[in-house]
Amino acid sequence: MLTGIAEIDQETYSKCLDFSIKSSGNLMVFGPAGVGKTEMAMQAAERSGYASAYLNLSTIEAPDMIGLPQVVDGRTCYATPDMIPLYNPNEKPIVLIVDELDKAKPELQNPCLELFQFRSLNGRKTNIHSVIATGNLPDEGAFSQPVSRALTNRCSIYRLTHSYGPWSEWALNAQVNPLVISFLSKNQELLLQPPPSGDCTAYASCSPRSWSLAARDLDFAADKDVNFQSLLVASRVGTAASIQFRVWLEHYRFIAPIVDDLVEKGKHPDISSMTIDRILVCAISALNAVAQTCRENVVQGTTAKKKAAISEKMVNVTNNVCKWLDSLDSEYCIGALKSVLSSQMIDQYRLVEVPAFMKVILKVQQADR
């Protein structure tokens, strides 16, 4: 493992990224595969107003980074690679994201010393504002090797852990399939379950990345049977987790026609014979229908008038669903809201303008007190 390295979650990592970029610093982060190390670095660069360049040290050789030697006017110089821009006073500097640092050959780590400290290669100044380096943990079986201490000494170093809260906030805004979000909210230990130590054949395992990919597969397989959907999930997260998720899918299959009647006709589901899990899945699916209608309304709103107004269909669907939600215990409302809608989405879709939705919000707020 890593010795004496501070552990941070995704929320703190985001703050550290912003600070490092703002201060033109170097940040090095190690963590399990699939927890968002590289993607969050790219998002931070964009959020800070910088373009980013991506450099994968596991796929290049030393000449690719150092540059091939050329003789110009009797002197030897090196052609700097395209992925590392040379200094240009007329262009804004970029954030360089150095990925797979732990898999870099020693001859690649050496030029990184100059790049990280002086922002140059072979004495030629580059147009780099900040450097973010990422790597896997030593015990992941990812062919990692120790990183030069001379290089780590030039960086702020962290170990990235994971937690459900920051991931779910991202997943909501990224429109990850709500069934995956809600399932993981009840099984948070499954968000990240690396293969057992020493097992080099457990190729499918749980991680934030693999669950996001499984959710994407489910989006494209909405018309497929449960067996095929479960197979898709198993191919991403492994069979053990997919067996538990299949139970969630079975709930969804049962309540799909019931939700359709609620959304389209306002017919309230009969929950007298439903299990607690099935009621929750029903509430989540119904509220997801509201979110889907909202998304359609945003996409179709091409004129200023349409963008400023909430469509009749959107209001009807929201009223139908929220009047039923208001009849349920607040625990179901809280579970459904947290699985489907973020505060950003509520503002974007202007749902507070629908009285039935506001009634559910007030109910949830009172329950939290």
Q: Which domains does the chain have, with CATH numbers?
A: 6-160 (3.40.50.300), 164-200+252-368 (no CATH)
Q: Sign of the CA dihedral 250, 254, 255, 257?
A: positive
pLDDT number for residue 5:
92
Higher pLDDT, 137 or 208: 208
pLDDT number for residue 214:
95
What distance in Å separates the CA atoms of residue 128 and residue 50, rounded to the nearest whole number?
10
Q: Which two tokens stand for residue 338?
A: 């947290």
Higher pLDDT, 107 or 47: 47
For every residue of 197-233, DSSP letters joined together read: TT-----S-B-HHHHHHHHHHHHHTTTS-HHHHHHHH
As a whole number, mean pLDDT of residues 240-253 equals: 85
Q: pTM to 2 decimals?
A: 0.69
pLDDT number for residue 304:
60
As a whole number, mean pLDDT of residues 70-91 equals: 84
Angle at which helices 276-300 and 312-325 pack, to 10 degrees? 160
pLDDT number for residue 64:
83
**pLDDT above 70: residue 303:** no
Confidence of residue 141 (pLDDT cuts 50, 70, 90): low
Confidence of residue 28 (pLDDT cuts 50, 70, 90): very high
Q: Which two tokens stand for residue 303?
A: 């004129």
Do the beta carbons of residue 172 and residue 345 sit within 8 Å?
yes
Q: What is the CA radius of gyration of the chain?
A: 25
pLDDT number for residue 313:
82
pLDDT number for residue 114:
92
Angle at which helices 330-340 and 276-300 pack, to 10 degrees? 40
pLDDT number for residue 306:
56
**Average pLDDT value for the chain:** 87
**pLDDT above 60: residue 309:** no
pLDDT number for residue 238:
92
Q: What element of type H or E holds 37?
A: helix 37-47
Do the beta carbons of residue 321 and residue 286 sit within 8 Å?
yes
